[in-house]
């Protein structure tokens, strides 16, 4: 691209006049000195005698945002590492926090409100956790001046006229006491050695350990070693530890990861109960049905992962989620997705067009002290069967038995069929992504590689990937493998809300193109509702016995599942997304009376 044309310059000076911009350079990615020199030499401001982009003494590339005219030429040198972003015009203020000069910039903050649960929704990498850490006092904001710490007065001034002003005034007056549950519960066993009870006793400022442990179903694991409990138990221990602190604003960063649907709903009810006139709650959550159930108010966050993030003004729970799905913030005049997301009501399946693909006979098997029994079941051609049930009730074992993955239990494999299997726990190795998913690259570039955003990962080893990246790679592998049936165990785990919303469509399209059927275990109800044609519902007792029945058609399956958890669902009129009815509401009562729990 040339950089000196009169037309180009006219365009860039127009940008300079009208747009507010930031320059973000990831110097960890931009290692080669040659690339840095090229960026310096290409810059039109540098070429005309100014000094806009330079290499600092410590070898880092630096861009002066004041003299930069936003032409974007330097980004061509390494689009992954150099970002010049023209921000929405409505964004008139400086960032509330900047990681470093040319580092990630966060604009605005969510506002805790006493008596309410405030939700935060947005994709990963746009500063949700940072925003919560600032409010929780874990990180000090710098008002866009890296290396400094903003004074309380300046923060109050920054938020003057908004609800947040009141919150920071109260914080300054010592009237706010916060408690914070971090996102990464996996690190708790590294920081604390001993029993669950010892940890909770240590933080119990309210003297409510017994009550809270009971509400979160932790009583049975109180004497267990913290290093030996499951991910779901660890999550509930982290929530208990947060709640036992005597605070009046509670922050929960992703409180439902590792939890099954039943636990998610239980934890949501518990978190909701914390919001009293003297107490506020803030929650970051990717499960839209849970967020809808939990939050009174919602802040949307948009931006560019690793570059900048903006917190929207708060909206009511329903409007917040519908606006998020629409991709357009009307009040702020910002489009943050080029399309709206709508949900389809499942049309009834034409039973004449159903052709059987395979079946399993009824069986009863023992796995140690756990017993699993299944009634006879059938998978149709082009079938997508969702699997719902509690943790520890044998969903994964059932899928592994059908896949022939359990050595001790043979004879129930889907006979004569090739099965591709994506396990729940994803193995890593030193293999390159490029070779691991070569089938996907060769055959499903449009259906998988592009929409799952895998290109940038090709040269990484599996062992170098984040949880979400590894998940996307394994999904592509399972869907591209030669098979008749794809079995997937928790494909939505580690994915953010945006990726989950896309994943349903990606899986459906790829399966339909390759004429395959699938069995999919997941705990995100919106995802299961979006993707499934039919449902298998597990019943039984966790860690004791699991009973498999189905697959059922959607309405029958969901009715069965919702009966177990005593909830009813309706469809949002605008987006057709499923929503949980408030227990005891008119709709809830009517639907329970008519037996149509799924949606009226
Ligand atoms: Fe120079 Fe800014 Fe253009 Fe990059 S975007 S080449 S730093 S003027």
Q: Which pLDDT tens digit goes with each residue over 97-109?
A: 999 999 999 999 9
State the Cα torsion 446-452-453-459 to the nearest 10°. -100
Instruction: Decide if pLDDT at 600 tops 80.
Output: no
Beta strand pairing status for 117-121 and 105-107?
Answer: unpaired
Nearest to 305 by CA among 15, 19, 26, 16: 26
8 CA distance to ligand 1 middle (Å): 13
Does the beta carbon of 121 sit less than 6 angstroms from any atom of ligand 1? no
Q: What are the structure tokens assigned to 224, written together? A: 């267990």
Task: Using alpha carbons, select from 329, 357, 411 the residue that is nearest to residue 533.
Answer: 357
- Cα 44 to ligand 1 centroid, rounded to whole Å: 7
pLDDT of residue 190: 87
Per-residue confidence band for 378, with pLDDT thresholds at 50, 70 and 90: very high
Q: Which atom of ligand 1 is nearest to the CA of 43?
A: 6
Report the run of H or E that residue 521 belongs to, with start and end.
strand 517-521
**Which among 525, 534, 579, 538 has a CA at the least distance from the CA of 556?**
534
Which residue's alpha carbon is at the smallest distance from atom 2 of ligand 1?
Answer: 68
CA of 74 to the centre of ligand 1 (A): 6
Residue that the structure tokens 């990246």 belong to: 469
Report which of residues 348 and 435 the model is more confident about.
Answer: 435
Residue 107, token pair as written in the block: 């604009």
Pick the residue with more confidence: 353 or 340?
Answer: 340
| 17: pLDDT strictly greater than 60 | no
Ligand 1: which of 19, 52, 61 to mutate, judged by most atoms within 8 Å of the beta carbon?
A: 52
What 3-state class would DSSP assign to 101?
A: coil
How many residues are given for the chain?
600
Split at pLDDT 50, 70, 90, the class of 352 is: low
CB of 117 shorter than 6 A to ligand 1:
no
> Which domains does the chain show, CATH number per domain?
6-86 (3.30.70.20), 97-326 (3.40.50.300), 352-565 (3.40.50.300)
Q: List the one residue out of 380, 388, 385 whose CA is nearest residue 558.
A: 388
12 pLDDT more than 70 = no
Find all residues with CB under 8 Å of 179, minimum gap 6, and list them. Answer: 136, 242, 243, 245, 247, 249, 250, 251
Summarize the confidence of residues 69-94 as an average pLDDT: 89
Q: DSSP letters of 180-212?
A: EE-S-GGGHHHH--SBHHHHHHHH-SSS-HHHH
Q: What is the pLDDT of residue 286?
A: 92
Find which of 114-118, 228-232, 415-419, 492-496 is predicted with most confidence, using mean pLDDT: 114-118
Tens of pLDDT, residue by residue over 563-587, are: 988 899 999 999 999 999 988 999 9
SS3 state at 115: coil
Q: What does the mean pLDDT of the chain come to?
A: 90
CA of 45 to the centre of ligand 1 (A): 7
Query: Confidence class of residue 346 from pLDDT cuts 50, 70 and 90?
Result: confident
C-alpha of residue 122 to centroid of ligand 1, in Å: 29
> Which of 238, 115, 136, 116 lies closest to 178, judged by CA?
136
Ligand 1 centroid – CA 586 distance (Å): 60
Nearest to 300 by CA among 262, 274, 328, 265: 328
Task: Give the position, in ligand 1's atom list, of the atom nearest the Cα of 46.
Answer: 1
Q: Name which of 89, 88, 106 is nearest 97 in CA terms.
A: 106
Please give the structure tokens belonging to residue 180: 């914070």
Q: Which two tokens stand for residue 153?
A: 């007065």
Confidence band, pLDDT 50/70/90 cuts, at residue 406: confident
**Could you tell me the maximum CA-CA distance found in the chain, to the nearest angstrom?**
80
Confidence tier at 19 by pLDDT (50, 70, 90) = low
The alpha carbon of residue 275 and the mean position of all alpha carbons in its chain are separated, in whole angstroms, by: 24
Cα separation, 24 vs 85, in Å, equals: 8
| Span 110-126, average pLDDT | 95
Q: Which ligand 1 atom is nearest residue 73's CA?
A: 6
Q: Give residue-wise pLDDT tens across range 475-508.
A: 999 999 999 999 999 999 989 988 998 999 999 9
| The pLDDT of residue 2 is above 70 | no
**Is 355 buried (19+), middle (13-18) or exposed (0-12) by CB count in 10 A?**
exposed
* Spatial distance between the Cα atoms of 312 and 319, rounded to a whole number of angstroms: 13
Ligand 1 mean position, distance from CA 88 (Å): 19
Distance, CA 73 to ligand 1 centroid (Å)? 6
What gap in Å lies between CA 297 and CA 518, rounded to an integer?
A: 37
106 lines ligand 1 (CB under 6 A): no
Q: What percent of the chain has pLDDT over 70?
A: 96
Q: Separation of 76 CA from ligand 1 center, angstroms?
A: 10
Substitution candidate for ligand 1 out of 16, 44, 64, 307 with most atoms within 8 A of CB = 44
For 392, the token pair is: 């520890």
Cis peptide before 194 (omega within 30 of 0): no
Residue 260 and residue 341: Cα distance in Å, rounded? 25
Contacts of 177 by beta carbon, 8 Å cutoff, 6+ apart: 246, 247, 248, 249
Element (H, E) at 499: helix 497-513
- Mean pLDDT value of segment 209-224: 95
- Pocket flag, ligand 1, residue 73 (CB < 6 Å): yes
Q: What is the pLDDT of residue 477?
A: 97
* Residue 450 alpha carbon to ligand 1 centre in Å: 29
What integer pLDDT is reported at residue 230 of this predicted model? Answer: 86
Q: How far apart are CA 46 and CA 62, in angstroms?
A: 13
> Is pLDDT above 60 for 317?
yes
Cα separation, 509 vs 395, in Å, equals: 25
Distance CA 485, CA 515 (A): 9
Query: From the CB of 74, is ligand 1 less than 6 Å away?
Result: yes
User: Does 52 score more than 60 pLDDT?
Assistant: yes
Answer yes or no: is the C-beta of 43 below 6 A from any ligand 1 atom: yes
Task: Characterize the bridge pairing of strands 61-63 and 249-253.
Answer: unpaired
227 SS3 class:
helix
Q: Across residues 287-314, what is the average pLDDT? A: 94
Please report the pLDDT score of residue 331 as a whole number. 85
Ligand 1 binding pocket includes 69 (Cβ within 6 Å): yes
pLDDT of 89 over the 80 cut:
no
Distance CA 533, CA 531 (A): 7
């Amino acid at each position: 691209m040339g950089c000196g044309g009169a037309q180009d310059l006219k365009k860039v000076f127009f940008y300079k006049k009208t747009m507010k911009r930031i320059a973000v350079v990831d110097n960890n990615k931009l290692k080669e000195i040659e690339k840095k020199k090229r960026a310096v030499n290409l810059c039109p401001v540098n070429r005309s005698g100014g000094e806009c982009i330079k290499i600092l003494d410590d070898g880092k590339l630096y861009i002066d945002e004041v003299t930069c005219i936003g032409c974007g030429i330097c980004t061509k040198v390494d689009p992954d590492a150099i970002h010049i972003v023209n921000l929405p015009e409505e964004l008139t203020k400086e960032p509330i926090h900047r990681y470093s000069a040319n580092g990630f910039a966060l604009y605005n903050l969510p506002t805790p409100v006493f008596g309410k649960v405030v939700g935060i929704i947005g994709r990963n990498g746009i500063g949700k956790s940072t925003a919560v850490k600032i409010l929780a006092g874990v990180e000090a904001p710098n008002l866009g001046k890296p290396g400094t710490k903003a004074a309380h007065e300046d923060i109050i001034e920054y938020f003057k006229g908004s609800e947040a002003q009141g919150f920071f005034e109260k914080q300054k007056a010592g009237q706010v006491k916060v408690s914070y549950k971090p996102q990464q519960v996996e690190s708790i066993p590294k920081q604390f050695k001993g029993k669950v009870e010892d940890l909770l006793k240590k933080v119990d400022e309210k003297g409510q350990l017994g009550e809270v442990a009971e509400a979160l179903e932790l009583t049975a694991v109180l004497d267990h070693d913290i290093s030996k409990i499951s991910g779901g138990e660890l999550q509930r221990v982290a929530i208990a530890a947060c709640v036992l602190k005597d605070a009046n604003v509670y922050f929960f960063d992703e409180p439902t990861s590792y939890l099954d649907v039943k636990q998610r709903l239980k934890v949501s009810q518990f978190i909701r109960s914390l919001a009293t006139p003297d107490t506020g709650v803030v929650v970051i959550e990717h499960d839209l049905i849970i967020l809808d159930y939990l939050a009174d108010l919602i802040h949307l966050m948009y931006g560019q992962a690793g570059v900048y993030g903006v917190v929207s003004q708060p909206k009511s729970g329903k409007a917040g989620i519908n606006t998020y799905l629409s991709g357009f913030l009307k009040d702020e005049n910002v489009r943050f997705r080029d399309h709206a997301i709508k949900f389809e009501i499942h049309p009834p399946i034409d039973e004449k067009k159903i052709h059987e693909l395979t079946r399993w006979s009824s069986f009863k098997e023992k796995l140690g002290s756990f017993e699993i029994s299944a009634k006879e079941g059938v998978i149709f051609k082009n079938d997508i069967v969702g699997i719902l049930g509690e943790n520890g009730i044998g969903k994964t074992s059932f899928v592994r038995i059908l896949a022939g993955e359990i050595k001790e239990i043979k004879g129930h494999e889907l006979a004569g069929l090739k099965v591709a299997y994506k396990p729940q726990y994803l193995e890593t190795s030193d293999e390159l992504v490029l070779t691991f998913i070569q089938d996907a690259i060769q055959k499903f570039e449009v259906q998988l590689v592009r929409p799952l955003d895998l290109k940038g990962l090709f040269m990484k080893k599996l062992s170098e990937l984040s949880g979400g990246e590894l998940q996307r790679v394994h999904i592509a592998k399972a869907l591209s493998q030669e098979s008749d049936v794809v079995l997937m165990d928790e494909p939505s785990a580690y994915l953010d809300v945006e990726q989950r919303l896309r994943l349903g469509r990606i899986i459906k399209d790829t399966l339909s193109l390759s004429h395959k059927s699938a069995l999919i275990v997941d705990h995100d109800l919106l995802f299961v509702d979006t993707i499934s044609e039919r449902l298998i519902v597990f019943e039984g007792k966790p860690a004791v016995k699991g009973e498999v029945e189905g697959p059922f058609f959607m309405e029958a399956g969901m009715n069965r599942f919702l009966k177990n958890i005593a909830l009813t669902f309706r469809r949002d009129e605008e987006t057709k997304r499923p929503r949980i009815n408030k227990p005891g509401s008119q709709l809830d009562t009517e639907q329970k009376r008519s037996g149509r729990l799924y949606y009226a």
